C-alpha cells in the first residue's frame, strides 16, 4: 500500500475488513468515491484498485477536493 500512496499522494482510501457470505475479506474504500468498495488483487495487492485511481471521474473528484 505504501508505494500506491507514494504514487498517488492526494488520494485517500482505507483498507477495510468486510464480511462476505460465510467469510470475510479485505476491501478498499475510496474516500473520494463514497459507496464503493474494491477487491484486492491480484493476491493481496492494490493493482486492481490502481485502475480506479486512474479513472477520469475519480481524478476529477480528487482535483475538486484539493482545489485544482
pLDDT bin (cut points 50, 70, 90) of residue 63 is very high
Q: How is the chain split into domains, by residue range? A: 2-66
pLDDT bin (cut points 50, 70, 90) of residue 2 is low
CB 47 within 8 A of CB 41: yes
Q: pLDDT (tens digit, 9 = 90+) per residue, 8-44? A: 999 999 989 999 889 999 999 999 998 888 988 888 8
Q: Taking the CA atoms of the chain, what radius of gyration do you get in angstroms?
A: 12
**48 pLDDT higher than 90:** no
Amino acid at each position: 500500500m505504501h508505494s500506491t500512496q507514494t504514487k498517488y499522494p492526494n488520494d485517500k482510501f482505507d483498507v477495510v475488513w468486510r464480511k462476505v457470505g460465510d467469510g470475510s475479506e479485505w476491501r478498499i474504500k475510496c474516500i473520494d468515491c463514497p459507496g464503493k468498495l474494491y477487491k484486492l488483487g491480484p493476491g493481496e495487492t492494490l493493482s486492481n484498485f490502481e485502475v480506479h485511481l486512474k479513472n477520469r471521474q475519480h481524478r476529477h473528484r480528487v482535483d475538486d477536493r484539493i482545489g485544482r
